[in-house]
Every structure is written in C-alpha cells, then in structure tokens.
C-alpha cells in the first residue's frame, strides 16, 4: 500500500477544523480509531474539506471488544457511518487481544474486503510472531503495520518484517509525546539543519525505507512543519546520531 510519508494522527483531536486545515495544508492520510471516540470529528472535517474523498486515505481501527467474528462487520459499518464514508481505505486490528482470535477475526475482515466495505487490512501493535500468524489466516495481503516508533523507542525486528514482506510500517507518536525536543542528539542535528528536534524526528523516521509517520498537530504551523520535515535530507552522520539515543521510553506498553 502506498501511503504519504507523513499523515495526520488524530488521537485527542476533537475539532473538525483541525482535520479540514490539515487537508488544506496537504495531508492525504487521516488516521483514527474506534477507541479515540472521534471518528465523527474526522468525518466532519473530511466532509467540510474541498479535497476530494477519493484523494484521501482514511484509516481507522477496531478496538479489542469489536474483534469477535460476529462483531467485526457491525463495528466497521458504524465506523463508516461516523466517518461519513461508503468504505474504509485501511482498517486495522488495533491490538491483538480481547476478542481477537486470528482464525475467526481475520477471515471476518477478509469478508469485508470481498464485499467492498474495506479496501485494505492492517494490524497494529503486533509482534513478529503475531504478524506471521496473521499472514497465515489472511487472504488479503497485510497492507500496513502501525506501531509506536520514535527516537526513544525502536523495534527493528518489526521494521525488518515490514521490509521483507513489503508493507509500510506506520509510526505513531513519532515525537515521543514531545520528549524529542529535550534530546541533545536531536538538538544537535536540528542546529545543523536550522530546524527543530521535532522535525528531525519525523525526517529520521520517514527517511527509513518503508516507514511513514503520523504525528498529531493542531495548529496550521505545526501541521505544515510536520509535512515539511519529510523533505529534510539527513546525512548518515545525522541518522547515526539520532539512532545513538540510549534512553528508551515506551509511551504505550501493552
């Protein structure tokens, strides 16, 4: 699946104007989830925008209590209703727990693709073993894997799986919840490029083959800065310095 280097993460977004502004600024990938309780907000922003629906990848996720085979379709139809769309471009299993049963949940998701309600299927917060099991039970190709990834938390085994099997790794919380601005390594690289540590974090992520980022932002200035970060050309020395960050912080452990 081809996704833009930078999309909009919407966890906590409660104003449709933010989504409308993001689309006007050039965003073409909107990411939400049932558990965010804002699919209606995202849908309202999409509806208000001058950007064609067909030009935007709309992604959402089924929460753990929507993953029983009998619940998958009802939950997905509800997401479509809230988002104001006829079909969902990318539907994720948010976490592989709760009602998730690979042999039952994943065939039910395949049925949604066969019926045209969903275009592509993804997973989120899976381990490599869980990814392997998912591929065993899915007919549709795995289109994306969304994971926490930022300079303070890197799982290269997940990147390797994505690159081997040719699907994008979608990095959520790419700014480490704002912590990147306090990292000396990122401040050093930012000074070299006349930019911010936040921009360096995004550039470092999307400069890796197969990785896209979905930072959250509210103001137009920050929305545009995150988009522009994709054009920052980090040197090998820059990238090595970012990678050298020793501290590890997982913001959303299981």
pLDDT at 48 (0 to 100):
98
pLDDT at 254 (0 to 100):
80
Mean pLDDT along residues 7-35: 98
Whole-number Å distance between alpha carbons of 31 and 124: 12
pLDDT at 129 > cutoff 90: yes
pLDDT digits (tens, 9 = 90+) for 198-237: 999 999 999 999 999 999 999 999 999 999 999 999 999 9
* Active-site residue set: 36
Contact between 41 and 64 under an 8 Å Cβ cutoff? The reply is: no
pLDDT at 195 (0 to 100):
98
pTM above 0.85, yes or no: yes
Mean pLDDT along residues 141-156: 97
Which runs of E-coded beta strand occur in 126-192? 142-148, 169-172
pLDDT at 9 > cutoff 90: yes
Domains of the chain: 8-243 (3.20.20.100)
**How many Cα atoms are found within 13 Å in the side-chain-facing hemisphere of 53?**
12
Whole-number Å distance between alpha carbons of 4 and 229: 13
pLDDT at 186 > cutoff 90: yes
pLDDT digits (tens, 9 = 90+) for 33-65: 999 999 999 999 999 999 999 999 999 999 999
pLDDT at 21 (0 to 100):
98
- Dihedral sign computed on CA atoms, order 75, 215, 217, 184: positive
Residue percentage of the chain with pLDDT more than 90: 99
pLDDT at 67 (0 to 100):
98
Mean pLDDT along residues 57-76: 98
Eight-class DSSP state of 38: -
């Amino acid at each position: 699946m081809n996704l833009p280097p930078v999309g909009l993460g919407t966890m906590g977004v409660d104003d449709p104007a933010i989504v409308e502004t993001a689309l006007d600024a050039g965003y073409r990938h909107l990411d939400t989830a049932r558990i965010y309780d804002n699919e209606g907000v995202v849908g309202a922003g999409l509806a208000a925008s001058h950007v064609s629906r067909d030009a935007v990848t709309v992604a959402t996720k089924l929460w753990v209590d929507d993953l029983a085979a009998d619940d998958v379709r009802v939950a997905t139809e509800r997401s479509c209703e809230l988002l104001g769309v006829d079909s969902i471009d990318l539907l994720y299993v948010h976490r592989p727990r709760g009602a998730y049963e690979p042999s039952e949940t994943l065939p039910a998701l395949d049925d949604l693709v066969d019926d045209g309600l969903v275009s592509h299927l993804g997973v989120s917060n899976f381990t490599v073993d869980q990814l392997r099991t998912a591929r065993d039970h899915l007919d549709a190709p795995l289109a994306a894997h969304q994971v926490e990834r930022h300079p303070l938390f890197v799982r290269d085994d997940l990147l390797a799986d994505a690159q081997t099997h040719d699907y994008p790794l979608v990095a959520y919380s790419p700014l480490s919840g704002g912590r990147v601005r306090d990292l000396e390594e990122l401040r050093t690289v930012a000074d070299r490029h006349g930019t911010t540590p936040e921009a360096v974090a995004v550039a470092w992520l999307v400069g890796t083959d197969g990785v896209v980022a979905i930072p959250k932002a509210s103001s137009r200035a920050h929305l545009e800065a995150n988009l522009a970060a994709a054009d920052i050309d980090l040197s090998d020395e820059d990238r090595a310095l970012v990678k050298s960050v020793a501290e590890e912080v997982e913001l959303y452990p299981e």
